[in-house]
Amino acid sequence: MGRVAVVTGGTRGIGRAISVALKEAGHTVAAVYHGNDAAAAAFTAETGIATYKWDVADYEACQAGMATVAADLGPVDIVVNNAGITRDGTLMKMSHDDWDRVIATNLGSCFNMAKAAFPGMVERKFGRIVNIGSINGQAGQYGQVNYAAAKSGIHGFTKALAQEGARHGITVNAIAPGYIDTDMVAAVPPPVLEKIIAKIPAGRLGKAEEIARGVVFLVAEDAGFVTGATMSINGGQHMY
C-alpha cells in the first residue's frame, strides 16, 4: 500500500537515495530541501519527485510546509528526518552559533517534523517515523561535540517517542549510518579518510542506497512490531 512520505534533506546524498527508494516502493514522496534551488529542480526533473522548500529548524515553517504537502499529496503517514549539517571544530574553537545551528537543524528538526505529523498519525492509527542518526552519535567524534550531541539526542528522542506512538500504531525508529560515500564525506581530507576506511571491517565506505533499504524496511506495513530501535549500518565499524 502506497503512503505519502516526507523526506527532509531529501534531494541530495542519503536523502536523495531514500526519496528514490521510497518512490520505487510505491509511496508518494515529498522531498524537503532548504538551500539549492537548481539542484532541487534537477532532482525533480530526473526523478519526478516533488520538492518543497523550507527550513526544518524553523518550527512554524515545518507546520506550514507539512500542511502544504498534505493539501497537495494527501495525509502524511511517513516522515524521514534526514536533514543534517556539520559545523565542525573543537570546543575551544566552536562558536555558540555553530553549536546552536547544528542542534537546531539536526535535532530540533526531528521535534518540529514529528510535532507536525504526529496528530494526524494518531487520528489514522498509523504512522512511520524514521530518524537518521549517526555512528558519531553512538561513539562520539573528535571535533564534533555539536554534531555528536545532536545525533546522540536523536537516538534518545526516538526511544521516547516510540513509547508514545506504539499504542496508536505509530512506529519510531532510527538508523545510524557509518561513513557513507556522499558529498559530506568526500569533503574529508584524503589522508584522514584513508584512516577512517582502515577502521571499517568491511573495508569500504557505505552506499547511500544501503541506508535507503533500511528505511524502506522500517516504514513497511508489516514492520509494525519494530519500534524504538536503532539500526546500525556501518560496515562493522561500531558494534554494541
Enzyme catalytic residues: 147
**How far is 125 from 32, CA to CA, in rounded Å?**
25
Angle, helices 145-165 vs 109-124, to 10°: value is 10
125-174-240-134 Cα dihedral, nearest 10 degrees? -170
